[in-house]
């Protein structure tokens, strides 16, 4: 993928590894802005503002936004927003079930039950089996997949520092974090109110119809077990009233936001903003951070060409 000198990445879970040649002079590496924050914190608005200000492109790192047709439940940027800047890793795959090891394991699980999966994992990786509940089919399946694909226990992979997640190389990194304010009573009320409203709006905008169409085309694929779609599918299957489905989606998004914030606290060198990404104060401050790094680049380069340097 041919990416420009200045890149804006909207990060939801973890940065996508974008690799390129690394010059010896680190100050001349292209800039990648990584935007972290819980769902509903305004990452899309901030990424669009920064991308337009600094002629960037947006790389989405949402694990569900990659799927075509899954629009409402993922809160993808709408077509008008995507037309403003080049976007990458959105609508690049169909949510069809992938044949292979997972399919065979799922079929065997249906015949033998979840305890069978736990017995298989116990033989492959006793340490992982000890920490995963025997009824947690999703985690058991994933652990078995990793063990068989890597030809070594998952627990060993997690402990092996040499094969841990590679850092994002080939770029200078600016990490911007959105941490919506906790000062409201109760804490996170502003974020949770947004999430509740957004989940309800998804249903009002046609999430049930979108889910019905996806089920008709692909069947109950793994992608449709994601937040929003899971609750919509439960309503369509007659196992959950509409009001309960909406409330479950709202609760799921709130829980997901809490987990994301816990995860992001592990990230180093993050410039945190205690507000939403679509607020003027945050937009201006984030633009200032980016501009400072670009100004530093021009000073290091001794560049005075206003076209090449963007000055």
Question: Which residues does 242 contact at the CB level (< 8 Å), separation at least 6?
Answer: 203, 235
Q: Are residues 67 and 149 in the same domain?
A: no
Q: Do 149 and 190 fall into the same domain?
A: no
The answer on 135 and 108 residing in a single domain is: yes
Listed in order, strand segments (DSSP E) in 147-281 are 172-178, 270-273
Span 159-182, average pLDDT: 74
Both 149 and 194 in a single domain?
Answer: no
Indicate if 152 and 208 belong to the same structural domain: no
Average of pLDDT values for 154-160?
Answer: 78
Q: Do residue 49 and residue 187 come from a single domain?
A: yes
Domain total of the chain: 2
Residues 269 and 215 both lie in one domain: yes
pLDDT interval class at 138 (50, 70, 90): confident
Same domain for 21 and 169, yes or no, is yes
Q: Is residue 311 part of a domain?
A: no
Strand, helix or coil at 125?
coil
Query: How many of the other CB atoms lie within 10 Å of CB of 179?
Result: 20
pLDDT over 90 (residue 102): no
Domain end, chosen from 148, 163, 178, is at 163
CATH no. for residue 288?
A: 3.40.50.300
Out of 66-75, 152-161, 185-194, 288-297, give the one with best mean pLDDT.
Answer: 66-75
Residue 134 sits in which domain range? 101-163
Mean pLDDT of the region 85-99: 84
The answer to the question of residue 190 being in a domain is yes
* Phi, psi for residue 98 in degrees, rounded to 5: -90, 125
CATH for 132 = 1.10.20.140
Share of the chain above pLDDT 70, in %: 81
Residue 12 pLDDT more than 70? no
Confirm whether 309 is domain-assigned. Answer: no
- pLDDT digit string (tens) for 26-43? 567 889 999 999 999 999
Question: What per-residue confidence (pLDDT) applies to 308?
Answer: 41
CA dist., res. 83 & res. 39, Å (int): 22
Domain final position from 163, 197, 212: 163
Question: pLDDT by residue (tens digit) across 237-282?
Answer: 999 999 999 999 999 999 999 999 888 888 888 999 999 999 999 9
Decide which of 142, 163, 184 is a domain's last residue. Answer: 163
> Is there a single domain that holds both residue 23 and residue 123?
no
**Whether residue 117 sits in one domain with residue 134:** yes
Reported confidence tier of residue 128, pLDDT bands at 50, 70, 90: very high
Q: Picking from 21-30, 111-120, 214-223, 254-263, which range would have the lowest pLDDT averaged per residue? A: 21-30
């Amino acid at each position: 993928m041919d990416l420009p000198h200045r890149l804006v990445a909207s990060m939801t879970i973890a940065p996508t590894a974008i690799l390129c040649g690394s010059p010896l002079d680190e100050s001349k590496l292209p800039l990648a802005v990584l935007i972290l924050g819980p769902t509903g914190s305004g990452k899309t608005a901030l990424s669009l503002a920064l991308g337009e200000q600094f002629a960037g492109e947006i790389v989405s790192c949402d694990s569900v936004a990659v799927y075509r047709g899954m629009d409402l439940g993922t809160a993808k940027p709408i077509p008008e927003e995507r037309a403003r800047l080049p976007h990458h890793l959105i609508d690049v795959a169909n949510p069809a079930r992938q044949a292979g090891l997972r399919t065979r394991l799922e079929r065997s699980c249906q015949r033998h039950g979840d305890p069978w999966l736990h017995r298989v994992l116990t033989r492959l990786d006793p340490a992982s089996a000890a920490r995963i509940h025997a009824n947690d089919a999703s985690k058991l399946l994933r652990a078995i997949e990793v063990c068989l694909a890597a030809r070594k226990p998952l627990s060993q992979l997690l402990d092996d520092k040499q094969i841990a997640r590679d850092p994002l190389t080939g770029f200078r990194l600016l990490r911007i974090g959105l941490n919506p304010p906790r000062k409201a009573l109760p804490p996170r009320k502003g974020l949770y109110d947004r999430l509740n409203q957004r989940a309800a709006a998804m249903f009002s905008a046609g999430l049930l119809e979108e889910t019905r169409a996806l089920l008709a085309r692909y069947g109950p694929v793994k992608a449709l077990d994601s937040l929003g779609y899971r609750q919509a599918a439960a309503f369509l299957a007659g196992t959950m009233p509409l009001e309960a489905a909406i409330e479950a989606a709202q609760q799921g998004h709130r829980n997901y936001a809490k987990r994301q914030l816990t995860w992001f606290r592990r990230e180093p060198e993050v410039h945190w903003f205690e507000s939403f990404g679509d607020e003027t104060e945050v937009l201006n401050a984030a633009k200032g951070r980016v501009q400072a790094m670009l100004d530093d680049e021009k000073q290091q380069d001794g560049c005075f060409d206003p076209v090449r340097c963007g000055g």
